[in-house]
Chains A and B, each alone.
Chain A
Amino acid sequence: MASTPTLPPLLRESGQREVFCGLTSIVWLHRRMPDAFFLVVGSRTCAHLVQSAAGVMIFAEPRFGTAILGERDLAGLADANEELDRVVGDLLERRPEIRTLFLVGSCPSEVIKLDLAKAAERITTRLRGRVRVVNYSGSGIETTFTQGEDGALSALVPLLPRCDDDQLLLVGTLADGVEDRLLTLFERLGVGPVRSLPPRQSTDLPSVGAGTRLLMAQPFLSDTVRALERRGARRLPSPYPLGVEGSRAWMAAAAAAFAVDEARVAEVLDPLVERGRRALVPLRRQLEGKRLFLMPDSQLEIPLARFLSRECGMDLVEVGTPYLDRTLMAEELALLPDGTQLSEGQDLERQLERVRAARPDLVVCGLGLANPLEAEGIATKWSIELVFSPIHGIDQAADLAELFARPLHRRELLQWN
């Protein structure tokens, strides 16, 4: 790796935060594992959040729901455990094909200290053989947006079967097409067996053990990594598979761990790198020299900033992240250009003042801010799309760049005279 860049001191901010809570992770996890159901234990606010995010899709069979706490539950008039058993019973009667039930904690359930972990254990025992019940917290007070996936996956870790054979485990949600493509490439490299967490079926869990090497597809999985490491797995340090450079380094890290000859790696990957760079050329022309401001949202911000500056030539004004795990981000930080201003946390109004003062060419931000900033004449790229899009791997580098070029291109296209 290149020499460590000189970065100004991290800007640590606290104040109003405009971010999603971890419950939002349900919006993509329910599609990754269609045989799972996500039952939030919380308030009407939680139910409203999830349906506002996902309710534009029309579901013949809902994949998520909320056990809404009532006054009787708060006053202790109703036994919370009995109530939960009843609600789960009703749900499973309607949806007998559910194989894994996630009991998802929320702010209200955490504040009143409802022990959902114990409830999950109890219900699993009662329904043995039919449905596995696990628990994680997606509450706003503890988790930000993608950290919900971290909770869900780390709740699955204890259920993984033990196996100490050598294998590669890809950790973090990948789009199906991307996953298939990466598996093909690992096969060409002679790396394998390769499994994914989360799997496509919640019952088809990969094994874990001393021979397991972890390749992190997503940067927001701190707890999951630690849980897997406690079960003997070892993380392969690498930047994340965003862009040509990051993806090549990512695959090469796995190849090295599986003692694949460097010449073989070059033989398989370098043609892809060459093609990927070519595909990036027209996009780089649109993005080069443009000033980019990333507001905190998903923890994808640092790898994205690295890709957009090094491979697309963008200038970084500020790179915000909701939470900075320096261990998981070490390889990424080393690749950032000198002088990159990082910020962790948020004081929304002050950050918006910095946005307005800097007048960046593109702001990556959440949907609560995007249209208002557009109305102020500032181009935006809404950040949530990045967790819903196939962006990983060398072959996806141009698609990833296009997500950022598209709003700028659109501004050039539209005219009213």
Chain B
Amino acid sequence: MELTLWTYEGPPHVGAMRIAASMEGLHYVLHAPQGDTYADLLFTMIERRDRRPPVTYTTFQARDLGGDTAELVTRSIQQAVDRFRPEALLVGESCTAELIQDQPGALAGGMGLGLPVVNLELPAYSKKENWGAAETLYQLCRTLLRERMPAPGSSKPAPDRWKSEGRRPRVNLLGPSLLGFRCRDDIKEIRGLLGEHGIDVNLVAPLGARPSDLLRLPVADANVCLYPEVAGPLCSWLERNFGTPVLRTVPIGVGATRRFLRELSALLGLEPPESNEADLRSRLPWYSRSVDSTYLTGKRVFIFADATHAIAAARIAADELGFTVVGLGTYSRELAREVRAAASDLGLEALITDDYLAVEKAMGDAAPELVLGTQMERHSAKRLGIPCAVISSPLHVQDVPARYAPQMGWEGANVIFDSWVHPLMMGLEEHLIGMFRHDFEFVEGHRSHLADGAPSRPGGMAEAAQAVAVASSPPPPLPSSSLQPSSLPLAEGALIWSVDGEAALRKIPFFVRGKVKTNTETFARDNALGEITEEVLYDAKAHYSK
């Protein structure tokens, strides 16, 4: 049993639903108890879709368990096929159905339905949503393409055969799906980018594809694996069985987009792209170089997301925005190795976990000034009072915006610049709050460019009076528990903050105070100092600035 306050991924059958709902002409019969239809809302409300997901649920109840639930399955399958007439059928179980073992896939296989049936085996108690999506996409393509596989030992198609065939090169864009992060606009951005470089898109899948479209997968010159969490296994299988090369660089960020174009051109035998293209096409490089961005230098950022977006964010943060990455992690165990490598490039140890509390603790320990995470990190960041931007699924309805909001390509970098910098305090305000702490409106932690001034409540005159009182009298004890929940056992080693030490700590701007506090306490402990005075704080400051 595992205590979960928030879960990063749904169960694997939700991944399968994402594939079915992303595609056209594919239906999914799901053996599941009454109530599991909640998953429809993910599509009708969060993705704001205008149609029901193509899913038929058996919705068994307690009274059905005494009877023939297998008969309920076959009836549901027959009715779904008769009513919706899909090109292919997915059949699977949810977690409760897995316990009663009716084998719905095998039942469907024996019904003579006259259409391709994919029997999904998704272990709900050990695997999760992204795995379920990847497995479903892979099994579906495998079922449909089984008879078209070239004989073993046949020669691989050359990626530059387009030249001899007198056409433009064409690639598949694999992985985009509903409930993925900004997939809708990423595809548009990448399609445009490729078009400008003379590359056609053969097929986008699963988003918008039909089962019959999937039969065209092998005619592409290369597969572009845009979302490895969903398309990784399929791309590897297509490479093994059809010899289609895979481009695995994900074009999120200016540098990654440039690498993506370079590598794809090389793979397809095209002229390399112009070296100044990024500066001409994306505003991020100039915005980030312009002097207004100087104060972003060294901002401490904590990143936790799916592997794809975490790795991309770490590179953008470090190389393109000049932040210091102080924490990097993912819940995507399938891609843990890649995230570990990215973390080690930054001198960090990757946090690989799906435990929300472990992430919250790591975030508290790292004391960042900005959190780039998922919808879940917004909860911890609120608790810790840290600015936060969402960079990956799981997401909620506000991250499926009406406006064009890609993450990939040149425009994606523009979107990223705006949305990551927005939660931070603006430069002038940051300076003034560091200088004058007794204001009645612009109080500590206040960010006046945000509608709610978050994270601290603007308390007006009352707060100003309190600020004056703090300045002139011994300060109240620091709210160390709210700053560093369970991460810093102050009692241990009997560290005591003296009155002047605490007063000095209060003068540190709030967004770096957490880090200064940690550093000072570590310094005091290392030097066996029992009491932290103002001088110890400055000693520590000098020590760590070396």
Q: Are B6 and A21 in contact (CB under 8 A)?
A: no
Which of A59, A91, A94, A141 contacts B60 (CB under 8 A)?
A141
Q: Are B5 and A45 in contact (CB under 8 A)?
A: no
Contact partner of A68 (CB less than 8 A), chosen from B2, B61, B100, is B2
**Are B3 and A90 interface neighbours, CB within 8 A?**
yes
Q: Which of B46-54, B237-245, B427-435 contacts A (4 or more CB under 8 A)?
A: B46-54
Cβ-defined contact, B56 with A16, below 8 A: yes
Which residues from chain A contact B398 at a C-beta distance below 8 Å?
Answer: 56
A71 touches B (CB below 8 Å): yes
- Interface locus among B123-131, B143-151, B208-216, B249-257: B123-131
Contact with B along A137-157 (1 / 0, CB 8 A): 001111010000000000000
* Nearest neighbor of B385 in chain A, beta-carbon distance: A60
In residues 327-377 of chain A, which contact B (Cβ within 8 Å)?
Answer: 349, 367-372, 374-375
- A56-B37 in contact (CB<8A): no
Taking a contact as CB atoms closer than 8 A, the residue among B3, B11, B40, B375 that contacts A43 in the complex is: B11
- Judged by a CB distance under 8 angstroms, whether B297 is at the interface is no
A52 contacts B42, C-beta separation under 8 Å? yes
Is B76 located at the chain interface by the 8 A CB criterion? yes
Known: A55-B375, A87-B3. A19 touches B35 (CB 8 A): yes
Interface size class of B (residues with CB under 8 A): 35 or more
Q: Interface code B37-74, partner A: CB below 8 Å = 1, 0 otherwise?
A: 11111101110111110001111111011000000000
A residues 15-65 with Cβ under 8 Å of B?
16-24, 41, 43-45, 47-49, 51-53, 55-56, 58-62, 64-65
Contact B37 A65 (CB under 8 A): no
Partner of A375, one of B51, B96, B123: B51
The answer to whether the Cβ of B500 comes within 8 Å of any Cβ in the partner chain is no
User: Is A73 close to B, CB under 8 A?
Assistant: yes
Find out whether the CB atom of B76 lies under 8 angstroms from the CB atom of A16: yes
1/0 per position for B485-505, CB-CB distance to A under 8 A? 010000000000000000000
* Chain A nearest Cβ from B69, distance in angstroms: 11
In the bound complex, do residue B61 and residue A141 qualify as a contact, i.e. CB atoms below 8 Å apart? yes
A349–B79 touching, CB < 8 Å: yes
Q: Are B379 and A59 in contact (CB under 8 A)?
A: yes
Is A66 in the interface zone, CB < 8 Å from B? yes
Q: Given that A48-B14, A62-B5, A83-B1 are known contacts, is A107 also in contact with B96, CB under 8 Å in the complex?
A: yes
B14 CB contacts on chain A under 8 angstroms: 45, 48
Q: Do the beta carbons of A51 and B6 come within 8 Å of each other?
A: yes
Residues of A within 8 A of B96 (CB): 43, 45, 107-108, 111, 140-141
A49 contacts B35, C-beta separation under 8 Å: yes
B50 contacts A108, C-beta separation under 8 Å: no
CB within 8 Å of A: which B1-29 residues: 1-7, 9-11, 13-14
| Distance in Å: Cβ of B28 to nearest Cβ of chain A | 13
Distance A67 CA – B125 CA, assembled complex (angstroms):
12
When distances are taken between beta carbons in the complex, the residues of chain A under 8 Å from B3 are: 65-68, 87, 90-91
How far is it, in angstroms, between the C-alpha of A60 and the C-alpha of B5 when the chains are bound? 11
User: A324 an interface residue at 8 Å Cβ cutoff?
Assistant: no
Closest Cβ of chain A to B326, distance in Å, is 22
Contact across chains for A43 and B44 when beta carbons are under 8 A apart: no
A110 interface residue (CB < 8 Å to B) = yes
In contact, B44 and A370 (Cβ under 8 angstroms): yes
Assess whether A279 is interfacial by the CB under 8 Å rule.
no
A141 to B67, CA, bound (A): 14
Q: Which of A48, A73, A90, A107 contacts B11 (CB 8 A)?
A: A48
Could you tell me how many residues of chain A have their Cβ less than 8 Å away from some Cβ of chain B?
Answer: 64
- Asked if B102 lies at the interface with its beta carbon under 8 angstroms from chain A, I say no
Most chain A beta carbons < 10 A, residue from B41, B99, B382:
B41
Q: Is the CB of B33 within 8 A of A368?
A: no
- Asked if residues B95 and A108 are in contact (CB atoms below 8 Å), the reply is yes
Alpha-carbon separation in the docked complex, A110 to B94 (Å): 15
Chain A residues within 8 Å of B35, by CB: 19-23, 49, 107, 139-140, 144
> In the assembly, what is the distance between CA of A284 and CA of B44, in Å?
31
Bound together, the chains give a CA A141 to CA B65 distance in angstroms of 9
B534 within 8 A of A: no
> A84 on the interface (CB 8 Å rule)?
yes
One of A45, A52, A67 near B41 (C-beta < 8 A): A52
Q: Which residue of B lies closest to A144 (CB)?
A: B34
Q: Are A60 and B51 in contact (CB under 8 A)?
A: no
Contact residue among A19, A23, A43, A87 (Cβ-Cβ distance under 8 Å from B125): A43
Is B378's beta carbon under 8 Å from chain A? yes
- Give chain B interface residues in 392-438, CB to chain A under 8 Å: 394, 396-398
Within the complex, the shortest CB–CB distance from B95 to chain A, in Å, comes to 4
The answer to the question of B546 belonging to the interface, with a C-beta cut-off of 8 Å to chain A, is no
A45 touches B94 (CB 8 A): yes
User: How far is it, in angstroms, between the C-alpha of A371 and the C-alpha of B83 when the chains are bound?
Assistant: 21
CB distance from B483 to the nearest CB of A (A): 13
The answer to the question of A326 belonging to the interface, with a C-beta cut-off of 8 Å to chain B, is: no
Q: Name the B residues within 8 Å of A58 (CB-CB).
A: 378-379, 382
B352, chain A: closest CB distance, angstroms: 18
Select which of B33, B379, B397 is within 8 A of A139 by beta carbon.
B33
A260 adjacent to chain B (CB < 8 Å): no
Contact B99 A111 (CB under 8 A): yes
Query: In this assembly, does A86 line the interface, its C-beta being within 8 Å of a C-beta of chain B?
Result: yes
Within 8 A of A (CB), among B169-223: none
* A59 CB contacts on chain B under 8 angstroms: 379, 382
**CB pair A45 B396 closer than 8 Å:** no
Instruction: Tell me, yes or no, whether A69 is within 8 Å of chain B by CB.
Output: yes
Interface mask (B377-388 → A, CB under 8 Å = 1, otherwise 0): 011001100000
Q: Is B471 an interface residue (CB 8 A)?
A: no
B62 touches A94 (CB 8 A): no
CB distance from A354 to the nearest CB of B (A): 15
Query: Which residues of B have CB within 8 Å of A108?
Result: 95-96, 99
* A74 on interface, CB distance cutoff 8 Å: yes
Instruction: Give A78 to B6 CA distance when docked, in angstroms.
Output: 23
Interface residues as binary, B150-167 with A (CB distance below 8 Å gives 1, 0 otherwise)? 000000000000000000
* Cβ A19 vs Cβ B34 within 8 A: yes
User: Is the CB of B357 closer than 8 A to any CB of chain A?
Assistant: yes
Closest-by-CB residue of B relative to A368 is: B40
Residues of A within 8 Å of B128, CB to CB, are: 44
* Chain A, residue nearest B381 (CB): A58
Instruction: List chain A residues, Cβ under 8 A from B87.
Output: none
- Known interface pairs A65-B3, A86-B1, A140-B34. Does A372 touch B50 (Cβ–Cβ under 8 Å)? yes
The reply to whether the CB of A80 lies closer than 8 angstroms to some CB of chain B is yes
Contact present for B7 and A17 (CB under 8 Å): no
Answer yes or no: A414 CB below 8 A from chain B CBs: no
> Which residue of chain A lies nearest to B84 when distances are taken between CB atoms in the complex?
A349
Q: Which residues of B contact A47 (CB under 8 A)?
A: 4, 6-7
Verify if A259 is at the interface (C-beta below 8 Å from B). Answer: no
Given A45-B95, A69-B125, A375-B51, 14 more pairs with CB closer than 8 A: A44-B9, A45-B124, A49-B38, A52-B38, A59-B382, A60-B382, A65-B4, A67-B4, A68-B4, A69-B1, A74-B125, A83-B1, A87-B3, A110-B62
Give chain A's interface residues, CB within 8 Å of chain B. 16-24, 41, 43-45, 47-49, 51-53, 55-56, 58-62, 64-71, 73-74, 78, 80, 83-84, 86-87, 90-91, 94, 107-108, 110-112, 139-142, 144, 349, 367-372, 374-375
Which residues of B line the A interface, CB within 8 A?
1-7, 9-11, 13-14, 33-42, 44-46, 48-52, 56-62, 64-65, 76, 79, 83, 94-96, 99-100, 123-126, 128, 357, 375, 378-379, 382-383, 394, 396-398, 486
| 20 residue pairs A–B, Cβ–Cβ below 8 Å | A16-B76, A17-B59, A21-B33, A43-B95, A45-B94, A49-B35, A49-B38, A52-B41, A61-B383, A62-B5, A70-B1, A71-B125, A73-B1, A141-B34, A141-B62, A367-B40, A368-B41, A369-B44, A369-B52, A372-B52
